[in-house]
Chain A
């Protein structure tokens, strides 16, 4: 016999153990992996207790890490392209031949910069 209203309590979860109001919520369903420590809410509805984590901060952190990775990779590719140009010129390789090597590398670097920018915009739209 549910009330149709349910009761929501602030809760934490670690290693599958949900805690609210300084008490372990026994028989709570954890609607996440439940392994790492998290904060969220437990919803009591009739005899059910469901724990839902607040994943916003996790998501932001993951996006930040991906942006950093994309930017580092773009930087690395740009450096590689520059190095090819320098070494090739010193070795007397014709410019068209060098360009054929550098263009795809530069395009890849540019794509990664676009990905980083798109993720930055996505992060700004997180509610």
Chain B
């Protein structure tokens, strides 16, 4: 299963039949269909614009913004999806560390789901990444990252 996180927004792309179901079962979570990918329920249907002072999902938007996609709005408002809390939160809320190791051509994450907003040892905040979740091992192998 491919996982693409863009500015804290999650998109899961099915690679094999049943992989979405098995992911949800293993992580005791739920994913919903959105366009050509699956995502967490609280990310479904987010508009591509925000109005300062008005709720954007669960979060009160800090600016007026219009962009091509919901993740552009999240970037503009400085928010990411908190996997554990199932909510949109300021990325600055996270002090968790993440230092994926380069292994045989990919970066191996210590966790199956890397929380966007996590900080590297160098103090850079990861907000985007692109990789694959290996079923069975539930290992997240990343091709690359995007920092704030």
Q: Which A residues contact B (CB, under 8 angstroms)?
A: 1-7, 20-21, 23-28, 44-49
Q: Known: A26-B64, A44-B66. Contact between A20 and B51, CB under 8 A?
A: yes
**Residues from chain A with Cβ under 8 Å of B105 in the complex:** none
Task: Say whether B66 contacts A3, CB under 8 Å.
Answer: yes
Count of A-B contacts judged by CB separation below 8 Å? 49
Task: Say whether A1 contacts B53, CB under 8 Å.
Answer: no
Across the interface, name the chain B residue whose C-beta is closest to A28: B64
Across the interface, name the chain A residue whose C-beta is closest to B50: A44
**Cβ-defined partner of B64 (8 Å) among A3, A4, A5, A44:** A44
CB-contacts of B16-66 with A (<8 A):
47-49, 51-54, 63-66
Q: Known: A1-B72, A7-B49. Contact between A46 and B67, CB under 8 A?
A: yes
The yes or no answer to B136 lying at the interface (CB within 8 A) is no
A86 shortest CB reach to chain B, Å:
69
Complex formed: what's the CA distance from A26 to B65 in Å? 11
The yes or no answer to B87 lying at the interface (CB within 8 A) is no
The yes or no answer to B108 lying at the interface (CB within 8 A) is no
Task: Say whether B48 contacts A47, CB under 8 Å.
Answer: no
Task: Say whether A45 contacts B51, CB under 8 Å.
Answer: no
Task: Say whether B53 contacts A47, CB under 8 Å.
Answer: no
Q: Which 5 A-B pairs have the closest CB atoms?
A: A44-B66, A3-B68, A23-B54, A7-B49, A49-B64
Complex formed: what's the CA distance from A4 to B63 in Å? 19
